[in-house]
Amino acid sequence: MDYLAGLNPQQRAAVENTEGPAMIVAGAGSGKTRVITYRVAHLIEKGVDAFNILVLTFTNKASKDMRERIMKVVGDEAKNIWMGTFHSVFAKILRVEAEKIGYPSNFTIYDTDDSKSLIRAILREMQLDDKLYNANFVYNRISSAKNNLVSHTEYLENKEIQAEDSSNKRPLLGVIYETYAKRCFKAGAMDFDDLLFKTNILLKNHPDVLNKYQQKFRYLMVDEYQDTNFSQYTIVKKLAAAYQNICVVGDDAQSIYAFRGANIQNILNFERDYPELQVYKLEQNYRSTQNIVEVANSIIANNKNQLEKNVFSDNESGSRIRVQRAFTDNEEGKIVAEAIVQDRTSNGLHYNDFAILYRTNAQSRAMEESLRKLNIPYKIYGGLSFYQRKEIKDLIAYFRLTFNPSDEEAIKRVINYPKRGLGDTTVEKIIVAADKYNITMWDVICNPSQYIEGRIAGQLNDFALLIQSFMAEAKKLDAYETALYIAQHSGILKELHTDDSIEGRSRYENIQELLNGIKEFAEREDIEDRSLAIFMQDIALLTNDDRQDDKDKDTVSLMTIHSSKGLEFKNVFIVGLEENLFPSQMSVNSRSDLEEERRLFYVAVTRAEKKLSLSYATSRYRWGTLTNCEPSRFISEINARYLEIEVAKPTKSLLSEDGFNEERRTWTQQREFAAKPKMSSGPAAGSPAAPRPKTTTMLPKAHVPSPGFAPDPANAFQTGMDVEHEKFGFGKIVNLEGSLPDVKATVFFQGLGNKQLLLKFAKLRIVK
């Protein structure tokens, strides 16, 4: 059989052994999809009826790609395989069996917006505080219950759940869940989670139906098994119980969806359910260079909760992994953009060979702006462009109204957001009046009683006064102060802050990131006019070409790491590797959460084929305050032999008293990277705290201080900071000990080595 010839021994064994329970542990880049498709093709070649094969995936794209590959081997018979996502396959089954659980066969499937709209209606009817009982929160709570197979009846009867809701001051969540479930049932509708929840009910309460599908699906395959939740696990286990010809494929090291309910224990404990399990390990990585694979291995080795495997690569060794430090997130964006230009030019690459991966969507702003400044085309994947996101457009609409109240599109966008009783009917009346009297919508809003009949004049007056207050403040405040005032008084910040769902937190972070960008703009010294009006003009220029960029296939890819799973690129930049960002602040208090963050980093690293770059900033703006950042602990977990640490130093040329023009102070360190140096009396021999230059630079005999040299106070210094001394020149703080005012610093000065200084007397300046 020709399709077997190209498989390595481990892949071939996984394809040919089709009887009984099997688990294929597929490392990153190990040819997982090929093994799945060839295994299914092999079943058909052996005479198994395609109608008796069920293949479950997590994306429609994966199903489509697999079916096309199988067709190349077995032809049109592949069309008869039951293959698709969990939701699509079981929706198909429910259409046939729906009447057994009281639903019509043509039941409606509610999407997320439908579900949240119904929840909001229920909250209004129950006259509940929609801040406390936020629709997103309620939706996520109900979704979680269903994914754990907890019905509304069981929810209300469970004393622990009720106690938890009461302690969180939401005692009526169970009643809302019950009302929501009954309203969906009355409407003949199932939401997305119901497609699995109701399938479990069907198989549990109707043994004849369970037996029917056990006989039908004699061979089951589940892709990305590490991403299954309890509901999915239960369905698969029931269906496979009769013949136990179940094969699951996955990689515990790539389990990154716990926030969606995925349970890594499903794959870690699979052998408990099937003691006769055959395990096949696909350990050869065909995607990445040896260095990238070894970096990934050294990262994931720090996780205790994992399946044992030894991933390796026979590809070329490749270049070391570049680690770059920036002083700010804007500089980080600049470093990445410039590296893309350089790598593309020198290596003959295309833009689509590059990807920039980040932990949160908010991080895209600095990257986007830097790419645009160098005319680098890009596309945001798994999300909208930063300035096209709803929450950003909403706040910017308020900005637009502040400087041009005649902007009708801005009026229509925010007149009732946050809600203030000025809905669609009111907007229609305003538009009719404006057209009738040939005036602007703003003119109508400012004088509502002259143009509109009814009781809405008070609300319109309040809205007009709100915008007029923004206009007045904009004349007195700088860009950042104006933007913050508008964000606070418009109600947007409060609206998003009360939404504690994953989506709500992300939108809140995006608003914070926009304000951070405005803060940086307001502090620029290279432009005269730093008003919010000018910032708005810059934003308009930045976003004009979005559509054109989207049409261009040769674009740099920007995405969160979660969105990158399953993809691969020649060159990958992982940005924002800082404590409390990656790993996230919410993950560092428990081992399980931290291990998931580490798996997320592993996924990011293994997207790279040829070249991998890591970067972090030593400072980021948070709510207008410049905050110092520590490098991520994940960097220090990487075996140092695979790293090339690059530290950009000040680039101004300094003229020594001997007339030597000092070269640009940049060096490359190949050393162990310590994210959190320990406090001690001084670095030991061979300590990573004492970097050695890769090349020798000509140093002046005496240091000439930078123009305007001014020392910083003793309480401003932290380990890892770059500093300047009047006499010793530029250096790096490698250790601090003692307490104020008698803090002693160990500083490494290039060409001079380590020196210990009392900060209160040292006269050090922080290099920014």
Q: What is the set of active-site residues?
A: 32-33, 223-224, 254, 607
- Phi/psi of residue 565, nearest 5 degrees: -60, 130
Q: Is 529 helix (H, G, I), strand (E, B) or coil?
A: coil
| AA letter at 147 | N
26 is in an annotated binding site: yes
From residue 499, give the alpha-carbon distance in Å to each of 117, 119, 127, 507.
16, 15, 18, 9
Termini Cα distance of the chain: 64
From residue 719, give the alpha-carbon distance in Å to each of 87, 469, 629, 734, 753.
51, 45, 11, 6, 16
Q: Tell me which long-range contacts 272-278 makes (C-beta under 8 A, separation of at least 24).
A: 273/21, 273/237, 274/21, 274/244, 274/246, 276/20, 276/21, 276/244, 277/21, 277/22, 277/23, 278/17, 278/20, 278/21, 278/22, 278/23
- Per the CB < 8 A criterion, the answer to whether 110 and 118 are in contact is yes
Q: Is 472 helix (H, G, I), strand (E, B) or coil?
A: helix
Q: Report how far Cα 114 is from the mean position of its chain's Cα atoms.
A: 25
Peptide bond into 448 cis (omega under 30): no
Distance (Å, rounded) from C-alpha 588 to C-alpha 580? 8
28 is in an annotated binding site: yes
Pairing of strands 278-282, 22-26: parallel
Distance (Å, rounded) from C-alpha 482 to C-alpha 396? 12
| Rg over CA atoms, the chain | 30
Which helix (H) or strand (E) segment is 744 a member of?
A: strand 744-749
Taken as a whole, the chain contains a residue count of: 768
- Phi/psi of residue 25, nearest 5 degrees: -85, 105
- 24's tokens: 């294929």
- Per the CB < 8 A criterion, the answer to whether 595 and 303 are in contact is yes
Q: What is the DSSP string of 586-605?
A: GGTTSHHHHHHHHHHHHHHH
The residue among 462, 468, 482 whose CA lies nearest residue 419 is 462
Beta-strand ranges (E) seen in 353-472 are 354-358, 378-380
32 is in an annotated binding site: yes
27 is in an annotated binding site: yes
- Phi/psi of residue 574, nearest 5 degrees: -105, 115
Task: Please state at what angle helix 135-147 crosses helix 112-125, rounded to 10 degrees.
Answer: 120
Pairing of strands 22-26, 246-250: parallel
Other CB atoms within 10 A of residue 147 CB:
19
Q: Tell me which long-range contacts 408-416 makes (C-beta under 8 A, separation of at least 24).
A: 408/440, 408/441, 411/441, 411/442, 411/445, 412/441, 414/490, 415/445, 415/463
The residues near 389 (Cβ < 8 Å, ≥ 6 apart) are: 361, 383, 507, 510
From residue 286, give the alpha-carbon distance in Å to each of 311, 355, 572.
10, 19, 17
Which helix (H) or strand (E) segment is 745 a member of?
A: strand 744-749
3-state DSSP helix/strand/coil % of the chain, to nearest 5: 50, 15, 35
The residue among 633, 560, 562 whose CA lies nearest residue 262 is 562
- 245's tokens: 């010809």
702 is in an annotated binding site: no
- 583's tokens: 């790993």
706 is in an annotated binding site: no
Residues in binding site for ATP: 26-33
Residues in binding site: 26-33
